[in-house]
Amino acid sequence: MGVISLGLGMIVVSLSILGILLVILVLLLYRKKRRMETFETNYRMLFIVGVILIPSGIIFSIAMFFIGIPFFVGFPLLILGAVYIAIGLSNRDNWN
């Protein structure tokens, strides 16, 4: 009985947090649309974030390997890092 109520409690907490995040997202999007804000993409920062994500993905994968969790948990960080680096380098002439 205790395990079932704990699982139900976690679901309620998770859904509450998700609902709060969705409300914040809707408010931010409404505010942005009302102001008609435009922004430029900072490609240099994308490159820097990509350079940071690749080593952290490698370290995360190695740590997960020693803990016993499959290494592909860190794989998304490696992919995101590679994509950010590619986007940043392809737009190198637009760096701020």
Q: How far apart are CA 96 and CA 90, in angstroms?
A: 14
The mean per-residue pLDDT over the stretch 20-37 comes to 82
> pLDDT at position 32, please?
72
More confident residue, 20 or 68: 20
More confident residue, 39 or 2: 39
Residue ranges per structural domain of the chain: 1-39, 40-96
Q: How far apart are CA 94 and CA 96, in angstroms?
A: 6
Q: How far apart are CA 76 and CA 53, in angstroms?
A: 9
Output the pTM of the full model. Answer: 0.59
> pLDDT at position 1, please?
47
Q: How far apart are CA 36 and CA 29, in angstroms?
A: 10
For tokens 């690749």, name the residue: 54
Is residue 44's pLDDT more than 60? Answer: yes
